[in-house]
C-alpha cells in the first residue's frame, strides 16, 4: 500500500513538471529573470521533499546535486555577481560542494542509512572552489594535492589489501578452533 502511494506521488510530481515544461515551450509569460534562476533549486527541493516523504535516499541524491547547482547559479547571478572570472567559478563550486553535503545530511536525518560517500566529492569540489576563490596558500595546497593523489590511492589500496588479509587470517583462526 505504501509503495503504491509513493509511486503515485512520484508520478504526479513528474507529470506536473512535464506539463509545466511543455506549456512553457508554447506560452510566453513575462517572468522576472530571478524567477528563472530558481527553477533548478526548485527541482532540487522537489526531489528532496519527495525523498523525505518516501524515505528514499535515491531521490535525495539528485535533490542535493540539483540544489547545489541551482543555488550556485543563483549565487553567481545574484548576491555574488560582483565577483567575475575565476571567482565566479569558485563560488559556484562551493555551492555545488554544499549540495553534495546536503545528501549526507538528508540521508542521515530521514533514512535508515547515511550516505557518507557524498562528503568525498562534495569536500573535493568545495575545496577546489575555496582554492579558486581565495588563491594563495590554498592554490599551492591544491597543486600539491594534485601531484600527490596517486600516492594517496596507492596507500588506500594497500590499506584495503592489508585489512582484507587480516580478516582472512582471523576467519582462518576461528575455523581452526
Q: Which three cell numbers stand for residue 58?
A: 535515491
pLDDT digits (tens, 9 = 90+) for 58-87: 999 999 999 999 999 888 887 777 767 778
Q: How many separate domains does the chain show?
A: 1
Residue 48's pLDDT band, with cuts at 50, 70 and 90, is very high
Inside any domain, residue 82: yes
Q: Give me the count of residues in the chain.
A: 177
Residues 6+ apart with CB under 8 A from 112: 55
Lowest mean pLDDT, pick from 8-12, 38-42, 53-57: 8-12
In a domain, 108, yes or no: yes
- pLDDT tens for 160-175 read 898 888 877 777 777 7
Whether 167 is covered by a domain: the verdict is no
Residue 6 belongs to a domain = no
Cα separation, 73 vs 90, whole angstroms:
11
Buried residues in 27-65 as b, exposed as e (16+ CB within 10 A): eeeeeeeeeebbbbbebbebbbebbbebebbebbbbbbb
> How many Å apart are CA 140 and CA 91, to the nearest integer?
19
Domain of 82, in residue numbers: 31-135
pTM of model > 0.85: no
Amino acid at each position: 500500500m505504501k509503495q503504491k502511494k509513493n509511486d503515485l506521488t512520484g508520478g504526479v510530481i513528474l507529470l506536473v513538471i512535464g506539463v509545466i515544461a511543455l506549456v512553457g515551450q508554447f506560452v510566453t509569460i513575462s517572468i522576472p529573470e530571478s524567477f528563472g534562476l530558481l527553477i533548478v533549486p526548485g527541482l532540487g527541493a522537489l526531489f528532496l521533499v519527495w525523498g523525505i516523504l518516501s524515505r528514499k535516499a535515491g531521490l535525495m541524491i539528485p535533490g542535493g546535486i540539483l540544489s547545489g547547482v541551482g543555488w550556485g547559479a543563483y549565487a553567481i547571478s545574484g548576491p555574488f555577481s560582483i565577483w567575475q572570472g575565476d571567482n565566479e567559478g569558485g563560488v559556484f563550486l562551493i555551492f555545488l560542494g554544499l549540495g553534495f553535503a546536503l545528501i549526507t545530511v538528508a540521508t542521515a536525518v530521514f533514512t535508515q542509512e547515511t550516505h557518507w560517500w557524498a562528503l568525498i566529492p562534495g569536500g573535493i569540489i568545495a575545496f577546489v572552489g575555496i582554492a579558486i576563490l581565495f588563491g594563495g596558500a590554498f592554490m599551492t595546497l591544491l597543486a600539491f594535492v594534485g601531484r600527490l593523489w596517486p600516492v594517496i590511492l596507492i596507500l588506500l589500496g594497500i590499506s584495503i589489501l592489508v585489512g582484507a588479509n587480516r580478516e582472512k587470517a582471523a576467519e582462518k583462526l576461528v575455523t581452526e578452533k
